[in-house]
Amino acid sequence: MQTAIETQNLSKTFKSGFLLKETQALSDLNLTVASGGIFGFLGPNGAGKTTTIKLLTGLIRATSGEGKILGKPIQDVSVRTRLGFLPERPYFYEYLTGLEFLHFCGELHGMNKTDRIQKIESLLELVQMKGLETRQLRRYSKGMLQRIGLAQALINDPEIVILDEPMSGLDPVGRKEVRDIMLLLKEMGKTVFFSTHILSDAELICDQVAILIQGKLKNQGKLETLLNPKVTSIDVCLQNVTEQQIGALDFVSTPVKVYEHTLLLSLENEGKLSRLMDWVHQESGKIVSITPRKETLEDMFMEEFNAVKA
């Protein structure tokens, strides 16, 4: 499979202030993003996600190391004809209308007027902005700006789409719309590389993820191989039994949480569940729910994050 994005020891140090104090924003990033599918670039705020994206899109220069997009060096301007980019919290020319802005972006890609008109028409449908394109961008809401931003990123029908925090600041409806567009782009065979710190969004749509913490890559791979597919614990909700009764059971090692008349406890395996069910039956208690839990992206993320902190 062709590699969409590849970096080797990519590093960036910023110098700031009068004394040019150095801050290492990214160290020795070795990232491989395969073509096709959705790649989630995860990390807490300040992890270096935006720095990486700016390096990939040529907005900043690497201090050392190198990066390639579709086999070409990131400094090569020609590769950007096959790239689409939506920056974080996009801010576009507010004096332009959405339509003028999209035409301008198409012109920058060297598209002729006929092609632009056709492409803009289909993009407005895709991002559900039909009928709103003649409004000035200053009159757009945050969600509308994000959608027109997505449209400009797709104007050249790119093979790779890089989105920096595309869901940030959006309401649940807006987030779902952006997720749906990303899934559609995947169906169209494009590679979507997006950064986020909203793990639930990433878990829903990503094929692969990479976790970046304090400028260093901590983990990278397919979600199904990174996350433990086995059941790690079973949450059980009980009624008509007391906390003291449960506490006396030798096979329940985790603390019991009490919510009014309901007890919530977590068991490590199915053997313990079966023993608990027998006991509840004996005591004439009531099982309200049984929820098996698998490792989530959040569990893995927190594990990596705590390891770095420690």
- Report the residue from 9, 30, 64, 107 that binds other proteins according to the rule CB under 8 A: 107
Report the site for other proteins in 222-281 (rule: CB under 8 A). none
81 in contact with other proteins (CB under 8 A) = yes
**Rounded (5°) CA angle 27-196-60:** 45
Q: Which stretch binds other proteins (CB under 8 A): 105-113, 187-195, 292-300, 302-310?
A: 105-113
**191-196 sheet: strands from edge to edge:** 83-86, 160-164, 191-196, 37-42, 208-213, 216-222
**231-239 sheet: strands from edge to edge:** 257-259, 262-267, 231-239, 286-294
Taking the C-alpha atoms of residue 131 and residue 58, their distance in angstroms, rounded to an integer, is 34
Report the residue number, 83 or 144, with the smaller CB distance to other proteins: 83
In contact, 178 and 170? CB cutoff 8 Å = yes
Report the residue number, 43 or 84, with the smaller CB distance to other proteins: 84
Q: Which stretch binds other proteins (CB under 8 A): 85-93, 230-238, 248-256, 275-283?
A: 85-93
Closest CA to 192 of 220, 159, 148: 159
26 in contact with other proteins (CB under 8 A) = no
Q: What is the DSSP code (8-state) at residue 256?
A: P
CB of 67 to other proteins, least distance (A): 14
Sole residue written with tokens 């993320």:
301
Report the residue number, 153 or 300, with the smaller CB distance to other proteins: 153
- Report the residue from 93, 258, 269, 271 that binds other proteins according to the rule CB under 8 A: 93
Q: Which stretch binds other proteins (CB under 8 A): 98-106, 166-174, 177-185, 268-276?
A: 98-106
Tokens, residue 37? 């599918």
- Report the residue from 80, 119, 179, 218 that binds other proteins according to the rule CB under 8 A: 80
- Report the residue from 4, 153, 202, 297 that binds other proteins according to the rule CB under 8 A: 153
- Report the residue from 30, 91, 188, 189 that binds other proteins according to the rule CB under 8 A: 91
The amino acid at residue 66 is E
Report the residue number, 144 or 227, with the smaller CB distance to other proteins: 144
Burial class (CB in 10 A: 0-12, 13-18, 19+), 71: exposed
Burial 180-209 (b: 16+ CB within 10 A, else e): ebbeebbeeebbbbbbbbbbebbbbbbbbb
- Report the residue from 29, 33, 38, 86 that binds other proteins according to the rule CB under 8 A: 86
- Report the residue from 96, 198, 204, 277 that binds other proteins according to the rule CB under 8 A: 96
Report the residue number, 14 or 305, with the smaller CB distance to other proteins: 14
Taking the C-alpha atoms of residue 224 and residue 271, their distance in angstroms, rounded to an integer, is 26
Taking the C-alpha atoms of residue 13 and residue 249, their distance in angstroms, rounded to an integer, is 56
117 in contact with other proteins (CB under 8 A) = no
User: Which residues are near other proteins by CB under 8 A?
Assistant: 14, 54, 57-61, 77-78, 80-81, 83, 85-87, 90-93, 95-96, 100, 104-105, 107-110, 149, 152-153, 156, 162
